[in-house]
């Protein structure tokens, strides 16, 4: 089968223990679960409803503070507008960003489904723990590009796999049934080339920051 990101041939990763099949691309390094193993929307939402994502969760807040600190020096002084895409049931990140003096719009397909970004452009677009849930990440990146101001940045958090099949089969991150697509920085490099974006910086672990290439 073809890679759903770059269209190249994939190799099968057969998870016999969990009775699931993944497709690994040797070109862009994406690993995607076969479509037949997607969970229905109601089960997906139920998984998110159980997350302890509140401002009172100090570890959760610290994760976001570290995320913001990684790229905050790249934000223009005149920046004012942020979109948090995939804000989840408790939009904690938006509250933290607002404390740093930026206005934040939030969108989430389950919890904040109004497309508030439709007629706007943003200095910063954040998307944390979202891309591993996406069936079509290229479509989402093109949406971000459309709503990004000149010199604006896109900051994404998703845990990268290390491109080792054996370790992937023992990787805790894929055990969440709503996690359907896994990346490396190489995957984002390929997607950026297809979407008119470029990588500004990455920690090679879970954070990648993009900006327009044109």
Non-local (6+) Cβ contacts of 69 within 8 A are none
The percentage of the chain sitting over the pLDDT mark of 70, rounded to a whole number, equals: 98
137-176 pLDDT, tens per residue? 999 999 999 999 999 999 999 999 999 999 999 999 999 9
| Residue 108 to residue 117: CA distance in whole angstroms | 11
Asked if pLDDT for residue 87 goes beyond 70, the answer is yes
- What is the C-alpha separation between 206 and 15, in angstroms, rounded? 24
Residue 96: which of 122, 140, 126, 73 has the closest Cα? 126
- Return the structure tokens found at 106: 């939030």
* Higher per-residue confidence, 58 vs 209: 209
- pLDDT for the residue 52: 62
- In 3D space, the residue among 57, 64, 71, 66 whose CA is nearest the CA of residue 87 turns out to be 64
Residue-range domain boundaries for the chain? 10-212
Q: Are strands 197-202 and 207-212 parallel, antiparallel or unpaired?
A: antiparallel
Joined tokens for residue 30 = 């994406």
Q: What is the CA radius of gyration of the chain?
A: 17
What class does CATH assign to 10-212? alpha beta
Output the pTM of the full model: 0.96
Summary mean pLDDT of the chain: 95
pLDDT in tens, 108-129: 999 999 999 999 999 999 999 9
Q: What is 116-155 written as a DSSP string?
A: TTTT--EEEEEEES-GGG-S-HHHHHHHHHHTEEEEEEEE
């Amino acid at each position: 089968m073809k890679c759903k990101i770059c269209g190249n041939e994939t190799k099968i990763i057969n998870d016999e223990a969990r009775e699931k099949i993944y497709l690994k691309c040797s070109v862009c390094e994406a690993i995607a679960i076969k479509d037949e193993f997607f969970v229905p929307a109601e089960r997906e939402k139920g998984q998110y409803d159980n997350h302890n994502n509140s401002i009172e969760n100090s570890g959760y807040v610290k994760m976001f503070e570290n995320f913001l600190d990684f790229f905050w020096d790249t934000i223009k002084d005149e920046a004012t507008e942020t979109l948090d895409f995939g804000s989840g049931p408790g939009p904690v990140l938006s509250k933290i960003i607002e404390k740093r003096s930026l206005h934040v719009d939030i969108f989430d397909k389950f919890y904040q489904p109004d497309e508030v970004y439709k007629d706007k452009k943003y200095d910063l677009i954040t998307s944390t723990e979202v891309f591993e849930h996406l069936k079509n990440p290229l479509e989402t990146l093109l949406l971000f590009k459309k709503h990004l101001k000149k010199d604006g940045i896109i900051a994404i958090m998703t845990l990268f796999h290390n491109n080792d099949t054996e370790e992937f089969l023992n990787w805790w991150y894929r055990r969440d049934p709503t996690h359907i697509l896994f990346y490396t920085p190489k995957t984002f490099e390929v997607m950026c080339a297809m979407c008119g974006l470029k990588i500004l910086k990455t920690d090679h672990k879970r954070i990648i920051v993009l900006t327009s290439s044109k």
